[in-house]
Amino acid sequence: MKAVRTLETAASIGWNGTSLRAMLEANEEAFARTGRYAGVEALELKEREPILYEKIFSKLRGALVTARATAMNISASPIVKEIGELCFSVYTPEGDSIALSTGIIVHVHTMSDAIKYMIREDFENNPGIADGDIFINNDPHIGDVHNADVQTLVPIFHDDAIIGWAGGVTHEIDIGALTPGSVPVGPTSRFEDGIDVPALKCGANDTLFRDHELRCAKATRAPTFWKLDEKARIAGNHLIRRAVLELVEEIGLDTYKKAIREIIEEGRRSFLQRIKELTVPGRYRSTAFSTYGFSGEERLPAHARIDCIAHMPLEMTIERDGMLGLSMEGADKWGYHSMNCTPSGMQGAVWVVLSQLVVPNDKVNDGAYYGTRQYYPLGSWANPGDPSVSTGIAWLFLIPSFTSLVKHLSRAFQARGYLEDVIAPYGVTGNVFQGGGLDQYGAQSATTNFEFGCAGTGAGFCRDGLDFAAAVWNPEGDMGEVEIWETVEPFLYLGRRVKPNTAGPGKFRGGAGIESLKMAWNTPHYELQNINSGKAFENSGLWGGYPNATGYRKNLKRNNLAEVVAARKPYPVRDGDTAASEIDRCLTAELVQYDDHTVTLPHAFGERDLYLSVQNGGKGLGDPLERDPRSVAEDVATGFLSERFAKTTYGVVLTRANDDVDVDMEATAAERASMRATRRAEARPVSEWRKAQRERVLRGDMIEPVRRMYRSAMELSTAFADEFRAFHELPDDYTL
């Protein structure tokens, strides 16, 4: 009888007999009406019992951090275990984040999108949401950044009503896409992006469905990592569920319900308050770019073979009440490549920047989301509005696009006087060593080497950036042990070193990157991609600081390493300064790929072929001619800067005695005075420069990728077209 009754009509799982969808709608209506989360007016619990209130938040936060630490040890994938590329969050029944763990905080709001999608699509009635259910999602059009980020969502029930959700994400090492690895460059539509789990129920009674497990094992080139990552996410979610239920047991359900609403509303208020404290209201504008060159790529469909520079204007507005507005008006159209991004992915990137720069220590949750207004034009790469669009390596556009947000916030902090919070923009993280083939065990395998989680950070207001420290998308980043990567990839590290000249120069320089030189070893066939920023600077540094170096590609195929080793001659462990390449000094090869072609499809590597992987530095702050000459000498002495740039970039004249590098102060002062004089002589009034640019624009004097970029942006946005014409004083009918 009981089984039959459940078939009649599913009982509502919301509070007070309502449906979950009704709860979500009521919440949204209350926010629209009052501007406050769930319409919460007074933070009663916080005011009445402040210690209990803080204890509740701390217990939730503690449970999430514990769940993450435990889950990291269940996973075996180096991306999760070594780099910590996972995070957990706990949500309200309606899918708003209350608290989150450390880790890739990108996903706090993407999982919120996924939960809300399931609620809006009435999952409550079909396929049903019950205690013990497990859901999975990796669809960026629903709520995610790219397919590689796989989410597990578990509802938390108390008696017969849902009281929340636990959610966890890991980044998979292979996603079964057209090309091997986790962030495929090669797909031109979503049908090639790899395994597709668009918010599905994949388990019940705390157990995964067998059909789901079997299906997934066949859909990725790294089934073992997939399986263990999934177990890690489920275990973390179950730990969180238990902690929430224990908390409810301790404080009572009514108090819990009240607390979670207040915590989010407090998150919203404190976000606005932080913005008001730290910044000056106004409008901040900047543009960033990302590039790839596929015009000669015959493996792609003809319509995808173009050289592209993407337009990424970002306007930030800060209102008097602290409301933060972000607009990408003027972004160009989405394209037949895998670097497009959905609004959910954009949200993820906004989150990761805001949680590091604006709310690093406060109650970080979806309250901050309610303190922002964001606009991503429909039809642009940032909001394609078409479910067939590929987003496989969304980060390749996403990362550069938000360099402007870092710049804007830093300008705003500086204007308010919070100099210690200023940071110059990061760089595009670095080269992605990615590919697949047969590994050293004779098995099918694929990899995305996450040592690019260790890039240099931007310079501070009165300090250099941190060297090989972290990546913007994972502030707890790590490069991982060489030996661990060597166990999963048929490549041996010949060396991993500081990469000279990667840091963006400035009065304070950016942090430096690293380089790894890797040799194919014990593989019958393996194909790898080069993925980095090579053709353009994505953005500038701050207040005269230079951008970090762009990346380059260097692969040596069919080289003479075997003979060099047999003859016991020195072999290279790095490339070092490209003008005095250690690789070139030691080796020759039949095919040397040394160029700015840094976004490629997979290409074959044979036994002992070499692959150089360069991770980028951060951007500089202030004029390099103002840098303390002794710091320049130290950078040269420690291998962060080549001696040749001390003079040309910094105007510093060095002296050498044995291994000691010293500064000739007098010659340096003279050199800097002469460089300043040259600058004055070469400088032109802005009005003249604008006139010359206007002539160029009128003549259409620009390379094809730039012409296509502006044409696309003008076609998509009347506002941008009007502004472009007005700025250059062009006729009303001007087009490109």
Residues that bind Mn ion (CB under 5 A): 148-149, 171
Residue nearest to Mn ion (CB): 171
Who contacts 168 (Cβ-Cβ below 8 Å, separation ≥6)?
Answer: 67, 71, 86, 87, 88, 89, 151, 152, 232, 233, 234, 236, 237
Q: Which residues pair with 284 in a beta bridge?
A: 316
Q: Which is nearer to Mn ion, 102 or 578 (CB)?
A: 102
How far is Cα 653 from Cα 668, in angstroms, rounded to an integer?
5
Q: Which is nearer to Mn ion, 355 or 649 (CB)?
A: 355
How far is Cα 169 from Cα 105, in angstroms, rounded to an integer?
10
Q: Which amino acid is at 396?
A: L
Virtual CA dihedral for 102, 103, 106, 109, nearest 10 degrees? -40
Q: Which is nearer to Mn ion, 101 or 668 (CB)?
A: 101
Inter-CA distances, 705 with 308, 313, 535, 667, 700, Å: 5, 16, 11, 44, 12
How far is Cα 329 from Cα 334, in angstroms, rounded to an integer?
14
Q: Which is nearer to Mn ion, 140 or 622 (CB)?
A: 140
Q: Would the CA dihedral through 224, 227, 229, 235 be positive or negative?
A: negative
Inter-CA distances, 665 with 285, 651, 662, 676, Å: 39, 11, 9, 16
Residue 152 Cβ vs Mn ion, minimum distance, rounded to whole Å: 15
Q: Is 551 helix (H, G, I), strand (E, B) or coil?
A: coil
Q: Is 219 helix (H, G, I), strand (E, B) or coil?
A: helix
Residue 174 Cβ vs Mn ion, minimum distance, rounded to whole Å: 13
Phi then psi for residue 652, to 5 deg, are -105, 125
Residue 146 Cβ vs Mn ion, minimum distance, rounded to whole Å: 6
Question: What DSSP state is assigned to residue 531?
Answer: B
- What tokens appear for 685 in the block? 């009034």
Question: What DSSP state is assigned to residue 502?
Answer: -
Residue 15 Cβ vs Mn ion, minimum distance, rounded to whole Å: 34
Q: Which is nearer to Mn ion, 80 or 263 (CB)?
A: 80
Residue 148 Cβ vs Mn ion, minimum distance, rounded to whole Å: 5
Residue 464 Cβ vs Mn ion, minimum distance, rounded to whole Å: 29
**Each residue of 420-437: b (16+ CB within 10 Å) or e?**
ebbbbbbbbbbbbbbbbb
Inter-CA distances, 336 with 175, 297, 483, Å: 19, 13, 37
- What tokens appear for 511 in the block? 């942090």
Q: Which is nearer to Mn ion, 244 or 349 (CB)?
A: 349
Q: Which is nearer to Mn ion, 450 or 526 (CB)?
A: 450
How far is Cα 402 from Cα 426, in angstroms, rounded to an integer?
9
CA gyration radius, the chain? 27
Distance of CA 581 to the CA centre of its chain: 31
Residue 398 Cβ vs Mn ion, minimum distance, rounded to whole Å: 10
- What tokens appear for 259 in the block? 């607390």
Torsion-angle region of 501 (φ positive above 0: left; ψ -120 to 50: alpha; else: beta): left
Q: Is 321 helix (H, G, I), strand (E, B) or coil?
A: coil
How far is Cα 180 from Cα 185, in angstroms, rounded to an integer?
9
Residue 172 Cβ vs Mn ion, minimum distance, rounded to whole Å: 8
Who contacts 726 (Cβ-Cβ below 8 Å, separation ≥6)?
Answer: none
Q: Which amino acid is at 146?
A: H
- What tokens appear for 10 in the block? 């599913």
How far is Cα 458 from Cα 471, in angstroms, rounded to an integer?
11
Virtual CA dihedral for 20, 21, 24, 28, nearest 10 degrees? -160
Nearest by Cα to 522 from 435, 445, 606: 606
Q: Which amino acid is at 632?
A: V
How far is Cα 47 from Cα 53, in angstroms, rounded to an integer?
9
Q: Which is nearer to Mn ion, 550 or 615 (CB)?
A: 615
- What tokens appear for 258 in the block? 């009240």
Q: Are 367 and 265 in contact (CB under 8 A)?
A: yes
